[in-house]
Structure 1
Amino acid sequence: MQPRNSRLNSSALRGAVDLAAVKAAGEAAQKAEQARVERARQAAAAEAAGVAPVQSAYPLVIDVTEDTFETEVVQRSTEVPVVIDFWAEWCEPCKQLSPMLERLAEEYAGRIVLAKIDVEANQLLTQQFGIQGVPAVMAVVAGQLVPLFQGAENEANVRKVLDQLILVAEQRFGVVGGAGAPAEASGEADPYPPEDPALAAAHEALDRGDLGGAVQAYRNVLAEEPGNTEAKLGLAQAQLLSRVEGQDLSTVRAAAAADPKDVEAQLRAADLDLVGGHVEDAFGRLVATVGRTFGEDRDTVRLRLLELFEVIGTDDPRVTAARGALARVLF
């Protein structure tokens, strides 16, 4: 495997304009959280009963070197998602993040493996992965590199990233970890409540192409529930589709290529890139535009990039990677 050039083979993990996929992703995130709670409950029950927990068939936390990378990371990633923690002895944030990752690897009980790489002792791997600073966290699933995040993160955000990684591994690559995944309960009622009628109306407006009506309907939902993630995603999608309506792809791309400093041209091209499923191209275009603009123009591009993050979903690994790139050009 050549880490520098590795990338996910699939197109968007969550379709840029597929509302059903957005809804499914939200439900999947809920299920992942329920699975985590159930794992913790089972572990507590086992401890109270004096029963030893089920052990994974492989170590859950391993130190990896350049010599063992192929076996311990690439080959292992066909069986279980391998999360890579790039760290250094001198790195203060690493001293908080690394123990948290180790604890979470044990808690997830075989659904991920944590590979720890000392960047000072493994400089070739550090260069191949393009590591610019530590801590940096990536994953390998079925031999494919998945950027996760760079810098210190709180535990709640790390859990969300890990849950999303596990879902991607299972749904896209068929990679399911070993021990620790709770058995599916049979005969139980559906844990998800019926859909909010106001949200359903917004979805229906979007489905029939009433973009203005959809935008207003999603805003109505958010006025009542500002934290409604599904409504935020739906609003971002409806606004995106409104912006690209009637745009000619070849004309827009030609204008963007002719003048990289033309902010409006870059915004239009990024919108069309995203609708076409070229998520990383859209993000990269706007990050580069942020890097060469100033003042109000820079703020306009930055805000548009944040809107596009909402379209894809803030837990998506490509959004995490783009956030890191954005931070680097801003600071």
Structure 2
Amino acid sequence: MQANIIDVTLENFQTTVIENSDKLPVLVDFWAPWCAPCKQVMPILEKLAKTHKDRFILAKVNTEEQQQLSEHFHIQSLPTFKICYQGKIVDSLEGVQTPAAFLAALEKYMPTDESENLRQKALVDIQLGNYESALAQLVEASQLNPNNFNIHLTIVKVYLAQGEISKALELAQRLPEDIQQAPEIKALLTHSKYIELAAEMPPLDTVNQQLASNSNNAEMLYALAIYQLAGNQTEQAMQSLLKLFTIQRDFNDDIARKTLLELFDSLKEVETELVNSYRRKLQNLLF
């Protein structure tokens, strides 16, 4: 277990919580082994503690084993969280919370995170189109705090803005799975899949020639859609897939519908109007 995640007992409470709170805020987590919400929130807290290891201490109190502490703090429900700062309880939270809610409660007491300050400055540079300056600040920020994956996510966005798709993809694939669920990353990873698939298709000239002879050639329609996706022609690809679905629903184990649903999922937050439009068109064909 890392240094800023501590199991608290009655014996070590004074040093673990009270004395440590003179230097950093201490988030005291009152939990129990039988408590499902406690188990749900524990990984969230441990990840936050890892990301902000020099900014707060996570102190875990097993209320089944430390009933005196639980009674002293009048714990009525689990999980309950107390923030101790400079020897005093300064805030309380109850129930499952989001990472943002925990950070909002802690932020008032945590020392400044210089890596996050640099990331915020980089975001301003990105808006101004100063990508080289932004990248330099983000690299410095990542060296200060390698566990702040928001920094790496922002670097991916800079690479995308610069058209450096391969660099963006390489970094994105190294990010933790939960970070890969960010809309930009999901879209990027989906796009890379179709670039790889396009390399397995017949040459594009052949595809176009075949479709010129028979516009309902299912195999060539699918190949065309893959080439269009690889080339970021998303709407044209959706049109091709809808046409394929219309003329031969069962082609390649329902691949047209499955591909459309995958696109809808990966693009719903970055191409919302387009996704909603083609989702309705697919639903009309289904029903």
- Smaller-chain TM-score range? 0.3 to 0.5
Larger Rg: 2
| Higher relative contact order (Cα pairs below 8 Å, separated by 6+ residues) | 1
TM-score by length of 1: 0.34
